[in-house]
Amino acid sequence: MHLPSAELRQELLSAPAFARFVKSVGSSGSETTLIFKGATLTLKYLIRRAHLSILIEQLSSGELLYAVLIDEYDNKPAAIWSLVETEDEFSALIDLAKIRSFPLFLFNEAAVNVCWANVHFELLSPLDSIIRAPIVFSSRVKTQEDSRLAEAAIDAALSGSTFSIALRTKEPLKWNAITSHYITNQLVASPIGILTENEGDQQEELCTWLLDNLSPSGAYRGPVVKEEKQDRELTDVLINYPGGCFLIESKTLAVLERDELPPRSRLRKNVLKNIKKALAQLPGASRNIRVGLKVTSASGEAVTINKEMPPHCIVLVPELSLLTSEDALGGDLLKEFLRQHGAYLHILDPSELMDLMRAAGHMAFLSEKTSRMIAFDAMLIARWQKAVDLDSPHFKLKIHFV
């Protein structure tokens, strides 16, 4: 397991995806280490592909770019890039010319280290043929011009017009599982990992990690509603406070369990099928709350829910980018859901949920009267108001504090 520095952890929490070479203290002293953060779905593809390449290119600005390339969807590599910012990062990168392996640590949306592997690699291009003096260190805040230059260099390398692939793995990566445990506000252990057998549980546990600390009562996994004929699960995850409640249906995608990695088109179909199922489940859960049926935790403790306020119904999918062109899931659906069921509908992924949670925490920090729970409620309302004017659920809510 890698324990990041305070500065690196802040970056892990704030950036949805990034790759960063660092100097860390290992069993044999200081060593070059690659830190990789991404969506759980991207991490699973990296785990299954078991190979990666690293592009290194010096931009016209003098800045040094490197990008981790993963054969992800439909034979099109995903590129997670970084610009060298510090002497230590530059030193870690230059050391690739002297070493033949380095540890790679994968972090998920909650900035939790979920597995690691030793990368044994071969250099395809001498680093001194790529890196030229002087080196310009990048600022922490990336500009649109930085992004344009980086993406152009990556596109050129992938198209074959330049030869900048400096490094690739010599053999399939052998992954080591890491399972971390979070003790919830209900004093229940919530384990999180990525190499576990039940991929469906992983996203529910991730949701619990993200949201439990918003409320003193915490997040309820698998709450139970007492219907007339039988007890049944109300929803996958419930967050509750005096001002309202949040019903979360977690719809994941099995990737590690499959014999063959599916193309992106198949993942999209699977997600749409799962969303359809969630849209059939959430109205019943919302109705049960509205009529005042008794709700308990999975262990049987009564949960008091404000039935007067419209609940927030959240469909949690692995990655919103799978839904970019799905106009049937846009604003018209959200408005009709509110009209029919008296509830706000949101379609989110863990990365967007993390951003909303962090923004709520910042809002509460700046206010003497606003709790994190109230702030989270306000963030969801703000996102819903934006979403009803759009044709797709794939967008990020931009929040500015003044």
**Does position 220 have pLDDT exceeding 60, yes or no?**
yes
- Cα distance between residue 139 and residue 217, in whole Å: 41
Six-digit token string for 248: 């979360």
C-alpha distance from residue 153 to each of 67, 90, 161 (Å): 10, 19, 10
**Continuous segment of H or E residues that includes residue 338:** helix 331-341
Q: Which carries the bigger pLDDT value, residue 3 or residue 237? A: 237
For 96-119, write each residue's pLDDT tens digit: 888 889 999 999 999 999 999 999
Mean pLDDT score, 368-373: 89
**For residues 370 and 17, what is the distance between their CA atoms, to the nearest angstrom?**
30
Better pLDDT: 164 or 389: 389
The pLDDT score that the predictor gives to residue 72 is 60
* pLDDT at 73 > cutoff 70: no
The CA-CA-CA angle for residues 7, 113, 25, to 5°, reads 60
Task: State residue 402's pLDDT score.
Answer: 66
pLDDT digits over 25-55, tens only?
877 778 999 999 999 999 998 898 878 889 8
Share of the chain above pLDDT 90, in %: 54
Cα separation, 396 vs 399, whole angstroms: 9
Q: Could you tell me the residue ranges of all domains in the chain?
A: 6-177, 180-387
Which helix (H) or strand (E) is 35 found in, with range?
A: strand 29-37
How much is the average pLDDT of 227-248? 93
**Residue-wise pLDDT tens digits, 162-199:** 556 778 888 889 999 999 988 888 888 888 889 877 88
Q: State both tokens at 356.
A: 């909303």
* DSSP 3-state of 292: coil
Q: Strands, E, within 108-257: which ranges?
A: 113-123, 165-169, 176-177, 180-183, 189-192, 219-221, 224-226, 231-233, 237-241, 244-250
Residue 142 has pLDDT above 80, yes or no: no
> Which of the four pLDDT bands, split at 50, 70 and 90, describes residue 141?
low
The pLDDT score that the predictor gives to residue 312 is 97
Higher-pLDDT residue of 220 and 29 is 220
Name the architecture of domain 180-387.
3-Layer(aba) Sandwich (3.40)
Round the CA-based radius of gyration of the chain to a whole number and report it: 23
Q: pTM of the prediction?
A: 0.91
Q: What's the confidence (pLDDT) of residue 162?
A: 56
Distance CA 395, CA 390 (A): 9
- Closest to 18 (Cα-Cα) out of 35, 32, 42, 4: 35
Which alpha helices (DSSP H) does 181-294 contain, by range? 199-211, 264-290
Mean pLDDT of 144-155: 82
pLDDT for residue 262 is more than 70: yes
Whether the pLDDT of residue 161 is over 60: the answer is: no
**Predicted pLDDT at 20:** 94
- Written as one letter, the residue type at 397 is L
The answer, yes or no, to whether residue 201 has pLDDT greater than 70, is yes
CA separation for the pair 320, 322 (Å, rounded):
5
Percent of the chain scoring above 70 in pLDDT = 97
Which of 23-32, 323-332, 361-370 has the least mean pLDDT?
23-32
- 1-15 confidence digits (pLDDT tens): 888 888 889 888 888
pLDDT value, residue 294? 95
Tokens 């059939």 correspond to 280
**Element of type H or E holding 240:** strand 237-241
Band (79; pLDDT cuts 50, 70, 90) = confident
User: Which residues sit opposite 44 in a β-bridge?
Assistant: none
The H or E element spanning position 114 is: strand 113-123
| DSSP helix/strand/coil, 148 | helix
| Mean pLDDT over each residue of the chain, to the nearest integer | 89
Residue 353: both structure tokens together: 């949920």
Q: Would you list the DSSP string of 358-371? A: HHHHHHHHH-SS--
On the CB side of 58, how many CA atoms lie within 13 Å of its CA?
A: 14
Give the pLDDT score at 273.
95
